[in-house]
Structure 1
Amino acid sequence: MHDLVTEFPTRKGVVRAVNGVSFDVEPGEILAVVGESGSGKSVTSLSIMRLLQDPGHVAGGSITFDGKDLLAATESEMEQIRGAQISMIFQEPMTSLNPVYRVGDQIVEAIRTHSDMSKKDAWARAVEMLRVVGIPSPEERARDFPHQMSGGMRQRVMIAMALSCDPKLLIADEPTTALDVTIQAQILELIYKLRNEFNMAVLLITHDLGVVSEVADRVVVMYCGQVVEEGEKFELFEYPLHPYTLGLLRSIPRLEDEASERLYMIKGSVPNPLDMPSGCPFSDRCERVTERCRRERPELKEVPGTTRRVRCFLYDDEAEVAHAVEATEKAHVVKAKLEAEERERIERARKMSGGAEVTVEIEEEEEVR
């Protein structure tokens, strides 16, 4: 995706919900797109799928998938791409599933739309996908209606439907919204597992940085329809570059915080899209704002010496760039140390498991004697 612009004409003017967004998703990668409500995350995903409701439309830029320009594709071509090559898990499974059809029939419809399978084979595939996503007794549950399932089960059905045609790209728009913490963890573990199993790219849209820390490889931070920062997950969490990213991370409650401490809050609110500041959109809320920020709009640039991108004038300063490079290098050292410790932990567990197996075998031999 390059320089994507999506607009919604209104009586009071044109709302530019997505304003020059550019990023790539590599095969087998989980890219998380984060930001407050209204930052343009979901509109970006709907633009990729070409599912914008009128009068919304893509006004500029390009979206390339597997060498094909999706904006130049006809509607019939997009119908073949949706579901088969690019699938999407929508925010609310109760409204995304048809309440008058059994869940198995809905998965069968998705499969037969994109393949020549017989109804019998498609039903077997639907049941198998329900089993893959961890639904117990899938043969029976495939005959249930959506209202007979819990929120977590419905979300798993949506994932089963999205994966039924082995897509190359899965777009998950707030896949854990309205689910309890236990089910959230299960859904995230499932997405991570299926990514590894099918080597598919995942575009994960969320406002929950806890979710991002669990499964993402890279992170794109959006604000007012623009990308304000992009980088590897570990780098971004260890040393955020943009003041907005820092504010989001500081807003997360931590166990070590004093009980009497007030939770940090980014001051102000997201500006009205019809009355945006003339300079940086975050200038009215930023603790490091300068006069230049109020006058000019920064461009998204790569920070010299790193692979990270940030939309902020702070990094026109050589001292800030040097600090960012040093912090990024330290983040990689910490990451390497943690990965080494994790490998050691796994190796110890494997050896202990092997030792337990040997003990069992010896005990069994003694019983036979």
Structure 2
Amino acid sequence: MLLEVKSLCTEFPVKRGVVRAVDDVSFEVSEGEILAIVGESGSGKSVTSLSIMGLLAEPGHVAGGEMTFDGKDLVHLSEKEYREMRGNDMAMIFQEPMTSLNPVYRIGDQIVEAIRTHEKVSKKEALTRAIDLLRKVGIPSPEARVRDYPHQMSGGMRQRVMIAMALACNPKLLIADEPTTALDVTIQAQILDLLRRLREDTDMAVLLITHDLGVVSEIADRVVVMYCGQVVEEAEVRLLFDNPMHPYTLGLLKSIPRLEDDDSKRLYMIKGMVPNPLEMPPGCHFSDRCDSCMQVCRERMPELVQVGDHKVRCFLYEEQDGHAKDAAEVKANEEKAREAIEAAREVSTAEALIEGDVAREAEEGGADER
């Protein structure tokens, strides 16, 4: 196992108390695997990745748990040891490349610096490698573009430069924090294809942080769903999309518009907002927004239990003693959860009905004219 995270807790002391941004998070990443962490903004995805990289801003700190990378204990590493590891054994691509690249230095110089920081090579050799890296990530005319400044490149090109810089020392783990959010759809597809190809060529593991389930379905092997700093579901990607268990995961998938949807029903929307981290509801953090909420959900926090090939944190699947329910009860509860989701969509709006009728009449009229 390349990366193991066990019961990770990350806290930020503030004037009104302590914000636990990451609460008892556990997962593993194997060599050559792409693991996606998904969830709404504020779910703790980026803080988890920054905790792993040792890049938490003060006063944030790891308050508990274990992190092991390639046999090394990350929790007790000194800053010097972390600097030697970052960029060399593990690297990170940040969400907005323009804020990560120095605007007053040429991109070639920045890649050369990343290489020479960790390896004893000449500047000429490092520059040759920088050009090869730009070519590998699909930048045309790399010999010329290596002399460009960041502002002379498009968003997609800058993101490719960040990937080239991250790959400069052949890391074993690449953490990509929302690498396609600021890009248009066609460039998104190119970046995802690039990450997939690099994984196949180098057997590099990728920890992908995103809120885009479309991106997850395209590239990930396994998925971890986070909500309010906790893991609420984990499964292989196809299994999670075919059979989402947690009401939050089900709500995320149902919120995606589909061509086959009934236009007389409104698009499903998870009600409410993510709670204030200083004023979390008692019991399950998702209880106030859940269409399947039970009384026990407001009283106790569910545990992350193994149900078949899933891990899920929900009382629909957990007995009072903390063990998983039997298969028959699990299936019955899943049906109830799906019925609750559909019931929330049954409220037809006059606008939707009118628009649907107008569209059908126009289509029928067009067919008659033909």
Per the normalisation by structure 2, the TM-score is 0.86
Letter in structure 1 aligned against 2:108: G
1:259 CA displacement:
4.4
CA RMSD of aligned residues (A): 1.6
Tell me the equivalent position of 1:308. 310
Q: 1:284 to 1:125 in 2, by over 3 A?
A: same
CA deviation profile, 1:152-175 (whole Å, cap 9, x unmatched): 000000000001100000000000
Task: Indicate the SS of the match to 1:3.
Answer: strand
Q: 1:258 to 1:296 in 2, by over 3 A?
A: same
Measured in 1, the distance between the counterparts of 2:184 and 2:142 equals 22
The 8 Å contact of residues 180 and 188 in structure 2, kept in 1 or not, is answered as yes
Consecutive unaligned residues of structure 2, counting only runs of 5 or more, are 319-324, 336-370
Tell me the equivalent position of 1:54. 58
CA deviation profile, 1:300-328 (whole Å, cap 9, x unmatched): 1111xx2310001111332456539x99x
Task: Indicate the SS of the match to 2:316.
Answer: helix
1:258 CA displacement:
3.8
Aligned-pair identity in percent equals 71
Per the normalisation by structure 1, the TM-score is 0.86
1:221-300 equivalences in 2 (<5 Å): 221-259=225-263, 261-300=265-304
Measured in 2, the distance between the counterparts of 1:243 and 1:152 equals 35
Tell me the equivalent position of 2:362. none
Tell me the equivalent position of 1:318. 326
Measured in 1, the distance between the counterparts of 2:6 and 2:209 equals 18
1:255 CA displacement:
1.8
Measured in 1, the distance between the counterparts of 2:293 and 2:107 equals 52
Letter in structure 2 aligned against 1:299: E
Does 2:195 match 1:187?
Answer: no
Q: Which range is displaced more, 251-260 or 36-45? A: 251-260
Letter in structure 1 aligned against 2:43: S
The 8 Å contact of residues 317 and 330 in structure 2, kept in 1 or not, is answered as no
Question: Which of these residues, 181, 202, 205, is aligned with residue 201 of structure 1?
Answer: 205
Tell me the equivalent position of 2:83. 79
Letter in structure 2 aligned against 1:257: D
Tell me the equivalent position of 1:340. none
Moved >4 Å (runs of 4+)? 319-322
Task: Indicate the SS of the match to 2:232.
Answer: strand
1:7-26 equivalences in 2 (<5 Å): 7-26=11-30
Measured in 2, the distance between the counterparts of 1:226 and 1:309 equals 12
CA deviation profile, 1:166-219 (whole Å, cap 9, x unmatched): 000000000001100000000000000100110011000000000000000000
Letter in structure 2 aligned against 1:56: G
